[in-house]
């Protein structure tokens, strides 16, 4: 089985299509939330995901597009983009987003858990430091948890070293490699708005039976996305950042 792991597509159709083409045939897409928000094609991205076999969970931008979150928690650009997104979404696509669960424990195989932010607080929490990561390992029962939200690809491993558990943070290597040893938090990075200084769309391929994962990057026509954002009068700063991956 071959699974495509994507997160934070953010209504960026050019990036999502580039990832699907680059990944080749897959059996299922596992989407870790923030399908919409920021980008100019929320409906097309929802519909493209819905047209393929998939699992999907909700992110904070999906919830804000549904009016489920207080927009005061967003910065002004994100708030403006969220209000715009809410107006664009068709009733059918809104209903799809409404039905997304907050997390999917052990969705297809016994080893995996999915959450947008963190397994402790799936919608909002960012895993950015040792303390949050340590707590996160206490909040899911599976061996591996895929998550997104930070828009930065990272592997965090909890390994037993000399009788005590230690965290190890690393960049995911680009060649296929076996998961473990030890439990892991795995962030595939963002498809539609990378923030690790690399503007290429970021994703992973997973073989859930062999427990191998591969991190990949792909160029896309980001200037087309930018043009559409400016045309729709979305905040220019959100369009500009796509060129820098920041």
User: Least distance (Å) from Zn ion to the CB of residue 61?
Assistant: 6
DSSP conformation letters of 29-94 = EEE-S--SSSSS-HHHHHHHHHTS-EEE---HHHHHHTT-S-GGGS-HHHHHHHHHHHHHS-HHHH
43 vs 124, beta carbon nearer Zn ion: 124
Size of the site for Zn ion (CB under 5 A): 2
User: Least distance (Å) from Zn ion to the CB of residue 210?
Assistant: 29
Residue number of the CB closest to Zn ion reads: 34
Q: How far apart are CA 129 and CA 11, in angstroms?
A: 28
194 vs 208, beta carbon nearer Zn ion: 194
For 187, the 3-state DSSP assignment is: strand
User: Least distance (Å) from Zn ion to the CB of residue 186?
Assistant: 16
User: Least distance (Å) from Zn ion to the CB of residue 100?
Assistant: 14
Task: List the beta bridge partners of residue 103.
Answer: 115
Phi and psi angles of residue 3, each rounded to the nearest 5 degrees, phi first: -115, 140
Stretch that binds Zn ion, among 1-9, 95-103, 201-209, 210-218 (CB under 5 A): 1-9
Decide if 32 contacts 58 (C-beta within 8 A): no
User: Least distance (Å) from Zn ion to the CB of residue 208?
Assistant: 24
User: Least distance (Å) from Zn ion to the CB of residue 129?
Assistant: 19
Q: Which helix (H) or strand (E) holds 216?
A: strand 212-218
Q: How far apart are CA 77 and CA 221, in angstroms?
A: 22
Among 3, 5, 8, 150, binds Zn ion (CB under 5 A): 8
61 vs 217, beta carbon nearer Zn ion: 61
CA dihedral 29, 30, 33, 38 (to 10 degrees): -30
Stretch that binds Zn ion, among 2-10, 69-77, 80-88, 130-138 (CB under 5 A): 2-10
Residue ranges in 31-90 that form contacts with Zn ion under rule CB under 5 A = 34
Residue ranges in 19-38 that form contacts with Zn ion under rule CB under 5 A = 34
Binding site for Zn ion (CB under 5 A): 8, 34
């Amino acid at each position: 089985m071959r699974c495509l792991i994507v997160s934070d597509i953010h209504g960026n159709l050019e990036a999502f299509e580039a990832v699907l083409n680059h990944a080749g045939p897959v059996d299922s897409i596992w989407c870790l939330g923030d399908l919409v928000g920021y980008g100019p094609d929320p409906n097309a991205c929802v519909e493209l995901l819905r047209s393929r076999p998939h699992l999907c969970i909700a992110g904070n931008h999906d919830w804000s597009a549904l009016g489920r979150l207080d927009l005061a928690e967003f910065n002004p650009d994100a708030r403006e983009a969220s209000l715009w997104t809410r107006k664009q979404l068709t009733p059918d696509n809104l209903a799809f987003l409404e039905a997304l669960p907050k997390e999917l424990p052990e969705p297809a195989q016994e080893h995996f858990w999915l959450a947008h932010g963190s397994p402790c607080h799936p919608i909002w929490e960012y895993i950015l430091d040792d303390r949050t990561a340590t707590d996160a390992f206490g909040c899911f029962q599976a061996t591996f948890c895929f998550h997104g939200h930070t828009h930065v690809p990272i592997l965090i491993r909890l390994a037993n070293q000399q009788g005590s558990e230690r965290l190890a943070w690393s960049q995911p290597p680009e060649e296929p490699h076996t998961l473990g040893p030890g439990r892991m938090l795995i962030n595939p990075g963002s498809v539609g708005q990378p923030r690790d200084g690399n503007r290429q769309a970021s994703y992973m391929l997973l073989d859930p039976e062999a427990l191998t994962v591969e991190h990949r990057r792909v160029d896309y026509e980001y200037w087309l996305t930018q043009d559409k954002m400016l045309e729709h009068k979305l905040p220019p700063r959100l369009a500009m950042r796509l060129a820098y991956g920041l």
